[in-house]
């Protein structure tokens, strides 16, 4: 298959496929006569695998690790479970950080409403500056 056919089969743009090739995530055969890429069904499946892994948030290096584990049946289940466990811990930390950010933003919004009496676009300067901020009437 050529890159256009693989793009259609995998749902990835040709540019992305070439980028993954540069990273060594997929390595198509080359035709001897003209040097053109020649993708196999295995290459398409690798690209789909990468696409699914990226869709759930895995980075490119994690995709590389997953592909290596996937191709080694002796390490597959244990290695993937360990990688998923690490990733899940990172997600939990991100969720905590996001909840903290959300709480801070909600607090700033409440301060704006309390100070202005409405939901105007006045920024919560005091909280952003880390100190009390009071508006002075001119």
* Res 43: pLDDT: 94
- Please check whether residue 104 is in contact with residue 112, taking contact to mean a CB–CB distance below 8 angstroms: no
Element (H, E) at 30: strand 29-30
Comparing CA positions, the residue from 91, 18, 14, 25 lying closest to residue 62 is 25
Distance CA(5)–CA(92), nearest Å, equals 39
Range of the domain at 83: 72-138
Domain stops at, among 33, 57, 81: 57
Do 76 and 53 belong to one domain?
no
The answer to whether position 65 is within a domain reads no
Per the model's pLDDT, the better-predicted residue between 28 and 124 turns out to be 28
* 63 in a structural domain: no
Number of domains composing the chain: 2
On the question of pLDDT at 131 being above 70, the answer is no
Share of the chain above pLDDT 70, in %: 83
State whether 52 and 98 are in the same domain.
no
What value does the mean pLDDT take over residues 11-37?
A: 91
One domain for residues 11 and 51? yes
């Amino acid at each position: 298959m050529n890159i256009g056919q693989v793009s259609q089969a995998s749902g990835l743009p040709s540019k992305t496929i070439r980028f993954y090739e540069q990273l060594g995530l997929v390595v198509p055969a080359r035709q001897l006569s003209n040097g053109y890429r020649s993708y196999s069904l295995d290459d398409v499946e690798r690209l789909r695998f990468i696409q699914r892994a990226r869709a759930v948030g895995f980075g490119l290096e994690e995709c590389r690790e997953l592909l290596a584990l996937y191709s080694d049946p002796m390490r597959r289940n244990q290695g993937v479970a360990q990688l998923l466990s690490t990733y899940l811990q990172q997600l939990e930390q991100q969720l905590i950080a996001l909840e903290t950010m959300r709480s801070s933003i909600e607090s700033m919004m409440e301060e704006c409403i309390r100070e202005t009496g409405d939901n105007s676009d006045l920024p919560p300067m005091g909280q952003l500056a880390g100190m009390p901020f009071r508006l002075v009437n001119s």
